[in-house]
Structure 1
Amino acid sequence: MKKREIIEQIENGKMSITESFRFLNDSSLALKEQQINNNDSKEKLKEVKAKLDRLVGLDKLKRLVDELEAFVKIQQKRQENQLATEPLVMHMVFKGNPGTGKTTIARIFGELFKELGLLSEGHLKEVERADLVGEYIGHTAQKTKDAIEEALGGILFIDEAYSLARGGTRDFGKESIDALVKGMEDNRDDLIVILAGYPREMEEFLETNPGLSSRFPIKVHFDDYTLDELIEIAELMLEEREYELSQTAESKLYKILAKKRQKSGSERGNARTVRNLIERAIRVQAMRVVEKEDIFRKDLMLIQPEDFEE
């Protein structure tokens, strides 16, 4: 209610002076509370984006985040100004090899969309085929419904989503897809679904189900990390744990990663592989250092080439 309307209410005897003061005071408190909440949300949004910026590579993803943030804010402003708005459908497909950051980005998206007001909770519920598909008629629909309910307010992340379409006509995967589509429609205001998996398999999956593909307007390809980016990721992982690589250890790690890529392809030489190598090196380093008679701070921190086992 505007001030002029309050004055008219008082003049017409419909509101007392005391009531008008109480109303103005309540309105002022509500406005202040809203401003505080908006400021908190802006700060949290900055924190989420800073978390994203700290990730190595993923330049296209960072650009996409800026686009989505701008799109959501402008649609909200257009709605406030009673202009036509585009539907805020944020269901996505993530295509990429293991260890390219798909789950990490999905988790950050949950936090981002919560601060933008699209999700009430922003948590990530990660599932795969076994969590959605049952063993008898009726079991699958209930399992999929349960997964959706647990994801409400956040993101339902389905890894290796193409496995739902494998198994032939007698398989219950199609039942899960049907239940998933219904759940997306019923909970469109507080649920985002992300389908993820290997690039080629995801493309084939979407081609065989165009109806499903159209429900996921945002499709993101996750590039494999370069070897230099993998070394940078290794250094960040070690820095978080207060370790560091010697120059010779860095050279050895580079050679190990290059060899893995050459032998097994990029899916065997991404961030997940780096994490495994680093965690193993830390354990081997502990075995090496514990035998020393005098252990100095530098000994506790430095990873040497012999700590990396081929």
Structure 2
Amino acid sequence: MADHINITRNARQINVVLRSPEPVVTTAAVEAESQPFHAKPLSQQGQFGEIMKELDRMIGLDNVKELVFEIYALLQIGNYRAEAGLTSGSQVYHMVFKGNPGTGKTTVARMIAKLFQTMGVLSKGHLIEVERADLVGEYIGHTAQKTRDMVKKALGGILFIDEAYSLARGGEKDFGKEAIDCLVKSMEDHKNQFILILAGYSEEMDYFLRMNPGLPSRFPIQVEFPDYTVDQLMQIAELMVKEREYVLLPQTELKLRQHLMQEKQNNEMSFSNARYVRNLIEKAMRHHAVRLLNSNTQQPSKQELMMIRPEDIRFDKK
């Protein structure tokens, strides 16, 4: 894996280039003095910086951060080329996100939608998140209509289909195949008007793409979202409690780390990563609240209101 990319630094470097661009000489103006140009107003560059800061705050995902910056660089240089009188053709940005639950796929899709709206690729930059039930109907013709309706809602933004492989589970007679055919047709009918992102488990998505030979070429960007390590999950937990103005005691951190190690080992296929950590933290907050109310202290101190103790971290199924 490539070294971690300092997105903020790269964005800052791009801004420096935008403020002092080199003169551009074209064949049509050999004898004229070339004039510098700006591809985008600096206010839009600031919007991009905010998007990248938000992405950079996410734990891990180095390959995803690199991809987003590559897309930004391509779009920005495309603007430079257009203003210099050079050809700047559009690319296909339909994507496949592969990974287990809780690895940040939906969050990253929302950030990409914002990026494309900022750079003028998408007119609205919204995200429509759907699953099989939103696309597949109960009788012939129903599926095509439902799918077209969802595509219509996504125009100007991103249509994000979670567990997309479920569309191909029923075989040739299943209405899921009709949804796939309708999506493929919509990608042609509404070219460059929306972006389709298919998401799901890595193995299932690979199988899904193999079932239709024409699908892989329609999704030139395929991204792996790896599971978080225990260290990364602990960083995520610390961020969550900090945002909520709580504190984990050292003993609490140790208990949580040991549990996460065991949970990842025992439930490798079903472990839900950051989502699992979020559920644990929110459950600990509820137990913390009950503990304080049941204590003899009439008015808990500020420290007590913030401190999550080991007994607040419970691993029952409630």
Normalising by structure 1, we get a TM-score of 0.86
Deviation at 1:38, TM superposition (A): 2.1
Aligned residue among 273, 296, 299 for 2:301: 296
1:224 touches 1:266 (CA, 8 Å); kept in 2? no
Corresponding residue number in structure 1 for 2:91: 88
Corresponding residue number in structure 2 for 1:242: 245
Q: Is 1:140 the equivalent of 2:140?
A: no
2:126 touches 2:156 (CA, 8 Å); kept in 1? yes
Q: Percent of counterpart pairs with the same letter?
A: 55
Q: How many aligned residue pairs are there? A: 275
- AA at the equivalent of 1:297: K
Change in CA separation of 1:269 and 1:126 when aligned onto 2, cut-off 3 Å: closer
Q: Distance in 1 between matches of 2:125 and 2:74?
A: 18
Larger radius of gyration: 1
**Greater fraction of residues in helix:** 1
Deviation at 1:122, TM superposition (A): 0.9
SS at match of 1:120: coil
- AA at the equivalent of 2:240: M
Indicate the larger mover: 261-270 or 246-255.
261-270
Indicate the larger mover: 140-149 or 206-215.
206-215
Corresponding residue number in structure 1 for 2:62: 59
Indicate the larger mover: 98-107 or 185-194.
185-194
SS at match of 2:215: helix
Corresponding residue number in structure 2 for 1:40: 43
Q: Distance in 2 between matches of 1:251 and 1:142?
A: 53
- AA at the equivalent of 1:246: L
Q: Distance in 1 between matches of 2:148 and 2:272?
A: 36
SS at match of 2:160: strand
SS at match of 1:104: helix
**RMSD across aligned C-alpha pairs, in angstroms?**
1.4
Change in CA separation of 1:186 and 1:77 when aligned onto 2, cut-off 3 Å: farther
- AA at the equivalent of 1:306: E
SS at match of 1:93: strand
2:100 touches 2:272 (CA, 8 Å); kept in 1? no
Q: Is 1:178 the equivalent of 2:181?
A: yes
2:127 touches 2:158 (CA, 8 Å); kept in 1? yes
Q: Distance in 2 between matches of 1:75 and 1:209?
A: 32
Q: Distance in 2 between matches of 1:58 and 1:304?
A: 30
Q: Distance in 2 between matches of 1:186 and 1:115?
A: 24
Deviation at 1:86, TM superposition (A): 4.1
> Gapped runs of 5+ residues in structure 2?
1-37
Corresponding residue number in structure 2 for 1:228: 231
Aligned residue among 174, 191, 194 for 2:194: 191
